[in-house]
């Protein structure tokens, strides 16, 4: 009476739909919360870090970045990238308290080690390349890809 026909033949290796739903892993690891350190991707302060001080509504955050030069202001949620870093501050605390907690937790060096920071640095370095440097980079990539392609062909041929 469960609604499933027990005589219906299942091929080996196939599972019913509800059997797949047993994974209890959490979907998200990072949450928007007070004290969460964020990286500003878009807008006038792009490339700087800030801390969530309060949530205005579902799409806006009140952020403060005393160490990176971001004034206390509201920012849209789609303009920031959430990091794993978090500091312990109360909701709506003053800028000085944020500054003290950021220095105590040594957030600037921790953020410099994250992949988000490294990607941003690489993007900045690539944007600063001149014409000839871009040409050399393209030639190096082409050479590397050619070597990889020939190695893969040899391996396929030998097997």
What is the reported pLDDT for 24?
63
Burial of 32 (0-12, 13-18, 19+ CB in 10 A): middle
Nearest to 40, CA basis, from 8, 3, 78: 78
- CA dist 64 and 144 (Å) reads 44
Give the pLDDT of residue 159.
81
Q: In angstroms, rounded to a whole number, what is the distance separating the alpha carbons of residues 154 and 115?
A: 34
pLDDT at 154: 94
CB neighbour class for 99 (10 Å; exposed up to 12, middle 13-18, buried from 19): middle
Phi, psi of 97 (to 5 degrees): -65, -40
Closest CA to 101 of 14, 40, 39, 36: 36
Is 0.85 surpassed by the pTM of this model? no
Residue segments in the chain with a per-residue pLDDT below the cut of 70: 1-26
pLDDT tens string 92-119: 999 999 999 999 999 999 999 999 999 9
Cβ burial, residue 2 (10 Å; 0-12/13-18/19+): exposed
pLDDT at 3: 54
112-144 in b/e burial notation, b at 16+ Cβ within 10 A? eeeebbeebeeeeeeeeeeeeeeeeeeeeeeee
Cβ atoms of 52 and 36 within 8 Å: the answer is yes
Give the length of the chain: 159
């Amino acid at each position: 009476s469960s609604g499933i026909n027990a005589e219906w033949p299942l091929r080996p290796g196939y599972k019913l739909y509800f059997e797949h739903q047993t994974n209890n892993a959490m979907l998200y690891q990072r949450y928007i919360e007070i004290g969460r350190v964020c990286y500003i991707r878009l807008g006038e302060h792009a490339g700087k870090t800030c801390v969530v001080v309060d949530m205005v509504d579902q799409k806006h955050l009140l952020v403060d970045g005393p160490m990176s030069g971001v004034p206390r202001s509201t920012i849209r949620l789609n303009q920031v990238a959430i990091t794993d870093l978090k500091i312990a501050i109360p909701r709506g605390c003053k800028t000085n308290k944020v500054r003290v907690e950021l220095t105590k937790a040594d957030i600037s060096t921790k953020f410099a080690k994250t992949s988000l920071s490294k990607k941003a640095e690489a993007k900045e370095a690539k944007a600063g390349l001149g014409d000839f440097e871009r040409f050399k980079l393209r030639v190096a990539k082409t050479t590397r890809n050619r070597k990889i392609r020939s190695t893969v062909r040899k391996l396929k041929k030998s097997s």
